[in-house]
């Protein structure tokens, strides 16, 4: 065999050797004074040079990838939403106070299915007590930033609201008509579902381990966080399921993050949707 090329690193030499193997040219890689030599038989030398030259041309003509856009401080979105939940609790109070907020905004299964679907949204902003709201505030503070990093703040908020509301509707369909529930935990488990769905959607030829780590983690979270005393396990399960569905749609439809203008519009649309649902609830 004779040297076809000499690479400065073994990884580069292995890459060239792989190209030759792909076109059916026997080869070998050996250490050389200048680095690592890729060897081939003398009668294959011409084909080997041509194959590597074509490979070089292909690499040069590949369109450069756009650099990934990253949020500078994605954690701020999670903290902001967590603080918003705490502020809303300071306005509405807990369930023990029997305030009009709970009368008009709680997820009452029969009323949701009888023509008051806005309760699937308003219930996400109500909490039973300080422990309840604190737990959900911490959950969204942790779970929202990865979604913001992937989709941008506006899209992430839309996905979170859709998963929470859809999960609440599914939960209402399975409960007795008198069943009532409140809390953002359905949306929190929806965020887990979205994250699981994103790891199942191949983007850069992921490995099997990476693709199954998130689903396993999601199930563990579902079991541990959803098994607390007085927890609405059905709402958590349906929030998770809704999140997986929403995550698949979002992950497939949005391979690239929308720009800042779209993010602002979607963020404002999310806030307007919650406000509109509360307007309808208080007038009912």
CATH of the domain at 99: 1.20.1540.10
* Structural domain contains residue 233: yes
- Indicate whether 151 and 194 sit together in one domain: yes
- Indicate whether 226 and 181 sit together in one domain: yes
The pTM assigned to this predicted structure is 0.69
Tens-digit pLDDT profile for the chain (284 aa)?
888 898 888 888 888 988 898 888 999 998 887 788 899 998 989 999 999 998 888 877 755 555 555 556 678 999 999 999 999 999 999 888 788 999 999 999 999 999 999 999 999 999 988 988 898 898 889 889 989 988 999 999 999 999 999 999 999 999 888 888 898 989 999 998 998 888 887 654 444 444 554 555 455 555 555 555 556 778 888 999 999 999 999 988 888 888 999 999 999 999 999 999 999 999 97
Which residue segment(s) compose the domain that 37 sits in?
2-61
Q: How many domains does the chain have?
A: 2
CATH number for the domain harbouring residue 23: 3.30.70.1530
Query: Rounded to an integer, what distance in angstroms lies between the CA atom of residue 126 and that of residue 94?
Result: 8
CA angle 51/55/58 to nearest 5° reads: 140
* Structural domain contains residue 164: yes
Query: Rounded to an integer, what distance in angstroms lies between the CA atom of residue 199 and that of residue 208?
Result: 10
User: What's the farthest any 2 CA atoms get from each other in the chain?
Assistant: 89
* Structural domain contains residue 68: no
189 in the Ramachandran plot: left (φ > 0), alpha (ψ -120 to 50) or beta?
alpha
Element (H or E) spanning 31, and its range? strand 27-32
* Structural domain contains residue 113: yes
- Indicate whether 57 and 110 sit together in one domain: no
């Amino acid at each position: 065999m004779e040297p076809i090329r000499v690479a400065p690193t073994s990884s580069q030499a292995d890459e060239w050797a792989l190209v030759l193997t792909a076109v059916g040219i026997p080869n070998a890689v050996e250490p050389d004074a200048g680095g690592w030599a890729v060897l081939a038989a003398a009668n294959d030398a011409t084909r080997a040079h041509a194959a590597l030259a074509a490979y070089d041309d292909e690499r040069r003509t590949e369109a450069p990838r756009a650099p990934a856009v990253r949020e500078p401080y994605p954690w701020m979105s999670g903290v902001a939403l967590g603080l918003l939940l705490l502020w809303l609790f300071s306005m509405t109070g807990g369930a023990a106070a029997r305030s009009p907020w709970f009368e008009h905004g709680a997820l009452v299964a029969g009323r949701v299915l009888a023509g008051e679907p806005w309760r699937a949204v308003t219930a996400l902003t109500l909490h039973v007590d300080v422990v309840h709201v604190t737990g959900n505030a911490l959950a969204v503070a942790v779970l929202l930033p990865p979604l913001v990093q992937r989709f941008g703040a506006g899209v992430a908020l839309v996905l979170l609201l859709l998963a929470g509301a859809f999960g609440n509707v599914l939960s209402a369909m399975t409960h007795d008509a008198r069943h009532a529930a409140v809390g953002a935990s359905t949306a929190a488990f929806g965020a887990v579902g979205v994250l699981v769905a994103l790891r199942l959607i191949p983007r850069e030829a992921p490995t099997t381990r990476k693709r199954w780590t998130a689903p396993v983690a999601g199930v563990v979270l579902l079991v541990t966080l959803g098994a607390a005393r007085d927890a609405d396990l059905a709402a958590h399960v349906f929030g998770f399921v809704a999140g997986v569905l929403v995550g698949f749609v979002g992950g497939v439809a949005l391979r690239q993050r929308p720009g800042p203008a779209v993010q602002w519009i979607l963020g404002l649309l999310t806030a307007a949707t919650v406000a509109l649902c509360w307007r309808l609830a208080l007038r009912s």
